[in-house]
Amino acid sequence: MAAENNILIIINTGPEKQYNHFAAYTLAWVSRRYYKVKNVTIMYGPYGMELAKKGVLSTFTMSDEVKKLTASQFEGLKAEKLPDNLEQLARFEKDKMGISIVSCGTFHVLDGFAKEISDKTNIEDFVEPIDLHESCRLMLEADKIIYY
């Protein structure tokens, strides 16, 4: 099965849907690691952008049971090597795997936790705020869009 070259994963659910966030980051990792997808981007949409705020992803912890279950599905993956929370996983994916993580800064401003679109004061340093033009470009240029 040939993999796409450009996958966009849109997360448009809040913290009440934790499995969506685990699934999105897992899909991003598997796409890059096992299917060698060239460009993988995770984008927080208008209802998911709350997760871009500093400290929120670190509250999504990965228990030992979750790590064991996840590792058991991939040959050579060790549970003890998995991160303790989604913030650590996001940092790994961005820094080590080249996965882009973005959030539409327009909604940061509308929600009141940013003064302008490029304001990174209250969001995680690994999340890049983008404008509506860039959000639209990502969607139009994607070979495949996965929506959580």
For residue 128, being part of any structural domain is answered with yes
Residue 68 is part of a domain; what is its CATH number? Answer: 3.40.1260.10
Count of all residues that appear for the chain in the document? 148
Say how far residue 127 (Cα) sits from the centre of its chain.
9
- Residue 1 has a pLDDT of 56
Domain extent at residue 85: 6-147
Q: Give the full edge-to-edge strand order of the sheet including 39-44.
A: 128-130, 100-104, 39-44, 6-11, 144-147
Grouped pLDDT means (10 residues each) for the chain, 148 residues = 85 93 95 94 94 94 94 93 96 96 95 94 96 96 96
Dist. CA 103–CA 50, nearest whole Å: 9
For residue 23, being part of any structural domain is answered with yes
For residue 16, being part of any structural domain is answered with yes
For residue 1, being part of any structural domain is answered with no
For residue 88, being part of any structural domain is answered with yes
DSSP character string of 8-68: EEEE---TT-HHHHHHHHHHHHHHHHTT--SEEEEEE-TTTGGGGBTTTGGGSB--HHHHH
Dist. CA 102–CA 52, nearest whole Å: 8
φ, ψ (nearest 5 deg) of residue 126 = -90, -5
What total of structural domains would you count in the chain?
A: 1
Residue holding tokens 């990792």? 29
For residue 140, being part of any structural domain is answered with yes
- Residue 4 has a pLDDT of 82
CA distances from 16 to 19, 35, 88 (A): 9, 30, 20
- Residue 2 has a pLDDT of 63
